[in-house]
């Protein structure tokens, strides 16, 4: 597990994060959510595991759409408390566990999702192997991560709101320390090629790669939409375990 596994347990970080998520046109709601839900598609009768589920917001949508079960995996106890509130009165569950130590019986799950959480995991290979194991044949995995052009270098973030995005040290994958939500965090940079190889080497069939191209209707502000046309913030990969 990364040394920052309890990053979201720092009270100021959690406060900043929740405020960030309430901001109009925040990237999670304006960019990540629409593409993730489009990739997720039909959820009827699916057993879903959500790695790094945060507040388990996806559970509300998934269960409403007819998913058979939802289980979130979350390392932060503060986030876990919020997830428990989200899941109260539903059939959804959340496990206090790290993605790295998560294990489930083979072929029990139809969809494994992980939204903006795998950037905190150093070694993704065993995680993808576990995802492959737990999926039923034909089951799907959908991940969103901060885009490699963003994670390559965080220098321009130190200026506050970015006006330029420096891409540097791209092929030097690994840890990147930077200030995020008021505290120092370690994230792990992987190139696009590495994500691709990770998925296909595990045995998955790649079904979609998306780069968070903004859609005007998802933004309240024209200026924010224009700004998001400048550089991709997120990378999405969807893949299927062969039948």
Binding flag, residue 228, ligand SAM (CB under 6 A) = no
Q: Output 67 or 242, the one with its CB closest to ligand SAM.
A: 67
Binding flag, residue 1, ligand SAM (CB under 6 A) = yes
Q: Output 126 or 138, the one with its CB closest to ligand SAM.
A: 126
Q: Output 2 or 69, the one with its CB closest to ligand SAM.
A: 2
- Closest separation between CB of residue 173 and ligand SAM, Å? 17
Alpha carbons within 13 A on the beta-carbon side of 199:
23
- Closest separation between CB of residue 76 and ligand SAM, Å? 4
Residue 235 CB neighbour total at 10 angstroms = 21
Size of the site for ligand SAM (CB under 6 A): 21
Q: Output 1 or 231, the one with its CB closest to ligand SAM.
A: 1
Residue 184 CB neighbour total at 10 angstroms = 10
The residue from 31, 35, 40, 75 that contacts ligand SAM (CB under 6 A) is: 75
Residue 98 · residue 203 · CB < 8 Å = no
In 3D, which of 187, 207, 181, 183 has the Cα closest to residue 196?
207
Binding flag, residue 5, ligand SAM (CB under 6 A) = yes
Q: Report 115-144 residues binding ligand SAM (CB under 6 A).
A: 115-117, 120-121
Between strands 234-240 and 135-146, the pairing is antiparallel
Backbone angles phi and psi of 3, in degrees to 5: -65, -15
- Closest separation between CB of residue 187 and ligand SAM, Å? 10
197: CB partners within 8 A, 6+ apart: none
The residue from 10, 43, 79, 124 that contacts ligand SAM (CB under 6 A) is: 79
Can you tell me whether residue 212 is helix, strand or coil?
coil
The residue from 59, 69, 86, 98 that contacts ligand SAM (CB under 6 A) is: 98
Residues facing 179 on adjacent strands = 184
Residue 183 · residue 214 · CB < 8 Å = no
Backbone angles phi and psi of 137, in degrees to 5: -55, 135
- Closest separation between CB of residue 39 and ligand SAM, Å? 13
Residue 36 CB neighbour total at 10 angstroms = 23
Which of the ranges 50-58, 63-71, 179-187, 215-223 carries the binding residues for ligand SAM, by CB under 6 A? 50-58
- Closest separation between CB of residue 119 and ligand SAM, Å? 8
């Amino acid at each position: 597990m990364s040394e920052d596994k309890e990053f979201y347990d720092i009270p100021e970080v959690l406060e900043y994060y929740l405020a960030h998520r309430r901001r109009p046109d925040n990237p999670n709601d304006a960019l990540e959510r629409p593409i993730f839900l489009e990739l997720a598609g039909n959820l009827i009768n699916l057993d879903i595991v959500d790695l790094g589920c945060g507040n388990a917001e996806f559970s509300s949508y998934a269960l409403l759409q007819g998913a058979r079960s939802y289980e979130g995996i979350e390392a932060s106890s503060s986030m876990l408390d919020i997830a428990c509130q989200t899941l109260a009165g539903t059939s959804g569950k959340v496990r206090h566990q790290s993605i790295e130590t998560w294990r489930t019986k083979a072929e029990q799950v139809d969809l494994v999702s992980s939204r903006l959480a795998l950037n905190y995991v150093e070694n993704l290979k065993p995680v993808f192997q576990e995802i492959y194991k737990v999926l039923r044949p034909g089951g799907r995995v959908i991940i969103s991560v901060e885009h490699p052009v963003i994670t390559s270098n965080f220098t321009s973030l130190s200026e506050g709101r970015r006006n330029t995005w420096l891409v540097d040290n791209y092929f030097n994958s690994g840890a990147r320390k930077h200030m995020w939500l008021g505290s120092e965090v370690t994230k792990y940079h992987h190139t696009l090629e590495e994500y691709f190889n990770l998925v296909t080497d595990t045995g998955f069939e790649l079904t979609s790669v998306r780069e968070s191209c903004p859609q005007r209707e998802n933004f309240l502000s024209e200026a924010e939409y224009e700004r998001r046309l400048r550089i991709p913030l997120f990378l999405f990969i969807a893949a299927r375990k062969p039948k």
